[in-house]
Amino acid sequence: MDPAAVLALFDRDLREHARPDGPDSVVERVGPVVRQVSSAHGWNGVVWSALDGTTADAAIAAQIAHFDGLGLEFEWKLYGHDRPVDLGRRLRDAGFTAEPEETVMIAEAAALDLDVLPPAGVRLVPVTDAAGAELVAEVHRAAFGGDGTRVRHQLLAQLATGEDTVAAVVALTDDGVPVSAARMELVPGTRFAGLWGGGTVEGWRSRGIYRALVAHRARLAVDRGYRYLQVDAMSTSRPVLERLGFEPLTTTTPYVHTP
């Protein structure tokens, strides 16, 4: 894999020409900025920009005015190779709060070790309905905190379309207790499938469940003809992904602005 070429393809297909991530979302290009506008339950934010030192501050102010006018919190998803180089400082000066940095990691799906099974006493179950979405939200609450409302709403909206754009899975114990969950977002017309929301509740970590969830989704991606898997990895999951064969290409930091 040529990291520079794949990163350029990632920027073009998933950012500059981004597609809405749900039926209640729209993607808009306003000058040098591409943003998604959704409901309060969806994801709102800037996914791509082509700025320099003379245009950045005005573009930031315009996005604040737009989302404030809608009464929506939004995220400026800043990547490590975005310009200008001081864009993060400019966002902080404008009132954004930086959340923890993540590493953008990409792998060729077919090149991964896909013969990985969950540990004994755990089975992987596809999520296809509201009951499954509630299990995913339950795992999200236990693993990450929060109430899981946004995760459940987004997943239900994607499933309701009937389109093959999302594949979610939950790991259940033999007693039916949800201990881990994850989803994969498929982007039609591109070669990328994104792995999102992988989380395992405390007490079940370090048993190979996360690795099994990655392999499960990778098999689905290969079956559907997608070449690359992309993950925004936290520091806890990066070592596992590197052992599986994912390569770090850049970083991403969510900058959040609340009206």
Mean pLDDT within 60-85 = 98
**For residue 23, what pLDDT band results from cuts at 50, 70 and 90?**
confident
pLDDT digits (tens, 9 = 90+) for 94-127: 999 999 999 999 999 999 988 889 999 999 999 9
DSSP H or E run through 74: strand 74-79
Domain boundaries, the chain: 3-103, 108-250
Which phi and psi (to 5°) does residue 168 adopt?
-110, 155
- Residue closest to 127 by CA, chosen among 162, 156, 165: 156
At 28, list the tokens.
Answer: 């808009």
Range 108-250: architecture per CATH: 3-Layer(aba) Sandwich (3.40)
Bridge-based pairing of strands 192-200 and 45-49 is unpaired
Whole-number pLDDT of residue 197:
86
Confidence of residue 148 (pLDDT cuts 50, 70, 90): confident
* Dist. CA 82–CA 63, nearest whole Å: 17
The string of DSSP letters for 186-246 reads E-TTSSEEEEEEEEE-TTSTTSSHHHHHHHHHHHHHHHTT--EEEEEE-TTTHHHHHHHT-
Report the relative pairing of strands 97-98 and 26-30 from DSSP bridges. unpaired
